[in-house]
Structure 1
Amino acid sequence: MSLVAAVATTLLRRDDPMKYDPELCTFETCDIEWSFYRYRPSLAANATLTALFAISLIAYAIQGVMSKRFYGFSIAMVLGTICECLGYVGRIMMWNNPWKEVPFMIQICCLTIGPAFLAAGIYFCLSRIVTTFGRENSRLGPLWYPRIFIPCDVLSLALQGAGGGIASTAVAGTSAADLGKNIMIAGLVSQVVTLGAFIILAIDFSLRTLRRMKSMGEGALDPRHAALRRSFAFRGFLVALSVATLLIFTRCVYRIAELSGGWDGHLMKDEPLFIALEGGLIVAAVFALNLFNPGLCFREGYDKTLSEEMK
């Protein structure tokens, strides 16, 4: 062993974690309690999630090409699943070295902003749903939904990306790192508020449609899309979209709580909870919309003049 290596090993074995160099850490020289998460990320769990998101990514790309419509939805979902894949690759890298900062920041940034892209894909769908049932049932014109929610989602994405960028370049434990964390939390709060408003408007549209159907019967609905509304694929899509929205909303609330506890908080150290509420919920959301992709579910009875009707 060289003199430099011997000195480095001696320093790394000291009890004071502030004196260690993460670039020189190994499982023999550094305590796992000095790592970012205080645990070694599960290789099996994170590799499984990486594979599942990769499958979903490929499926969204193929479905987007096959359907030749809903390009905004497809692009958003592809970008979201790319972020998810990169994030879990970062966690796999941390299995080899849980003290290393670069893979930690890769997974923090990518897994934080990924669902913002997925939410954007969901926002594109409500305008088509409104048109399918009848614009008279909605408080807003169909095109106002993406006009309102997409900019809000971009703001959320910008805050989370900026916060992640600041945190990734700051020294852990400094005021700059805390600033980055707080900006990321602000982005997540913005995303929760936007999703919450979206859910409220979607429920309001559903209740207004049901009330008009009770008083007017089928006359409350647009007759040009009756075949589409009766199809199993379209009804399955409505369920899948509702489930995916609630799952992403729940995940965002969890991430706010996790980051609010700080880098050394209890939730940050709980991998099973992370795998369930971050990985599991988002996997379920993306697969639900893979199974009932709107580009394919709107095929039966689809009116090619739909985009004109939305204006």
Structure 2
Amino acid sequence: MAEDESIYYYDPSLGAAILFTILYTPPFLWHLWSVTVAPRTRGYSRTLFYIPMIIGAAFEILGYAVRCASTQNPEDVGLYASSATLIVLAPVFICASLYMLIARLVPSTTDNDPSGQEGAEGEKDQKKLRILWIKPRWLPRLFVGSDIFSLLLQSSGSVIALSNDWEGEEKDIGLAVLITGLVLQVVTVTFFLVIVLTARHRAIAVGKYSLGPKMVIRGVIIAVCLILARSIYRVVEFAEEIPGYIFEHEWLLYVFEALPMWFALLVLAWYHPGRWLVDKVTRNRGDTELAEREV
């Protein structure tokens, strides 16, 4: 095979692709166990909203597994596109679980249980639950909607740029749309981090920063910072001239894409909300021993 037939601008490493296929497997299995088995055997709270995170972790495994095949067939557009798509989609699903988590986390860090209040006091308590004037139930819709729109922009931009093999006017238009989607993703993740930090500040202010919420918020903050670093890397990758330094050096992909997402999954596994947060069903049973797990 001639070297210029390769889709890559470098000689892709099979070893690195195999390594990350293996590395992503333990956090995937841990998240799967925490959602499906641990609520029945270890007293974890039910966290079905973490199913997208399981899907995201599975996409990471599949993405790098397909990349293994792609390194051996660097001229195959289908393998390259499949691997890249799975790796790009994975953070979207992981973030979706975090966006749904914050709607459950805010009430537990602001007031005891305002849902049972009525009249003026009930309305006052409901206002306490708002973060930056946003009701908790609207937070997942806002962030997930923004992430989906960002993904659509990225996909559209890629299709437009590829329509003329990343050349000519189509390349410029496609890159502009793609970068807009990536910047929107950075803005979304940044705003989400602001929401989480605000919730943390509010929890401390009202004296509700107990062990459970404290541990979960800590994990979310660390993970979101890692995801934000990864998202900024993607913006820089496409903002520079193609092919540029990033496109021509594979190590940047693993340092700024693969490693941050892997660490984020590990952190979120340790600070899993099923382990640390109160479960309403458990609380209603009066089983307070399993309501909030301690270190």
SS in 1 for 2:71: helix
Change (3 A) 1:53 1:170: farther
TM-score with structure 2 setting the length: 0.77
Alignment RMSD: 2.6
- 1:54: how far off? 3.0
1:31 and 2:3 matched: yes
Change (3 A) 1:49 1:143: same
Percentage of matched positions with identical amino acids: 26
* Corresponding residue pairs, total: 259
Contact 1:109 1:164 in 2 (8 A): no
Query: Matches of 1:275 and 1:35 in 2, distance apart?
Result: 20
1:124 aligns with 2:72: no
Residue 29 of structure 2 is aligned to residue 58 of structure 1: yes
Q: Contact (CA 8 Å) 2:196, 2:217: kept in 1 or not?
A: no
Distance 1:131 1:185 in 2: 36
Q: CA deviation at 1:261?
A: 2.2
- For residues 165 and 294 of structure 1, do their structure 2 counterparts lie closer, same or farther at Cα, with a shift above 3 Å needed? farther
Partners of 2:200 and 2:217 within 8 A in 1: no
Q: Describe the shift of the 1:61–1:88 C-alpha distance in structure 2 as closer, same or farther (beyond 3 A).
A: same
Preserved contact between residue 138 and residue 208 of structure 1 (Cα < 8 Å): no
Structure 2 residue identity aligned to 1:51: I
CA shift in 2, pair 1:247/1:305, >3 Å: same
Q: Counterparts in 2 of 1:1-311, with a 5 A limit? A: 26=1, 30-31=2-3, 35-66=6-37, 67=39, 69-72=46-49, 74-135=50-111, 136=128, 138-139=130-131, 140-166=134-160, 171-173=165-167, 175-176=169-170, 179-210=173-204, 212-213=205-206, 218=207, 221=208, 229-231=210-212, 234-298=213-277, 301-304=278-281
User: Could you tell me how far 1:132 is from its partner in structure 2?
Assistant: 1.0
CA distance, structure 2, for counterparts of residue 49 and residue 269 of structure 1? 20
Distance 1:128 1:89, change over 3 A: same
Cα distance, 1:239 vs structure 2: 1.8
Task: Please state how far the C-alpha of 1:62 moved relative to its aligned partner.
Answer: 2.4
Give the gaps of 5 or more residues in structure 1.
1-25, 307-311
Deviations 1:136-168 (A, max 9, x none): 264333212113212112212222333445556
State the one-letter code of the partner of 1:76: P
Pair 167,56 (structure 1): closer, same or farther in 2 beyond 3 Å: farther
Q: Secondary structure at the match of 1:269?
A: coil
Cα 1:114–1:168 shift into 2, 3 Å: farther
Q: Which AA in structure 2 matches 1:240?
A: G
1:170 positional shift: 5.2
- Structure 1 pair 157/296, CA: closer, same or farther in 2 (3 Å)? farther
2:46 aligned partner, one-letter code: R
Pairwise CA distance, 1:194 = 0.7
Alpha-carbon contact 1:76-1:117 (below 8 Å) kept: yes
Which of the two has higher C-alpha Rg?
Answer: 1
Please give the alpha-carbon distance, in whole angstroms, between the structure 2 residues aligned to 1:110 and 1:85. Answer: 9
Secondary structure, in 3 states, of the residue corresponding to 2:74?
A: coil
Deviation at 1:176, TM superposition (A): 4.1
- Structure 2 unaligned spans of 5+: 40-44, 112-127, 284-295
SS in 2 for 1:265: coil
Bigger mean CA deviation after superposition, 60-69 or 39-48:
60-69
Shift of the alpha carbon at 1:244? Answer: 0.6
Scaled by the length of structure 1, what TM-score is found?
A: 0.74
Shift of the 165–52 alpha-carbon distance from structure 1 to 2, 3 Å rule, reads farther
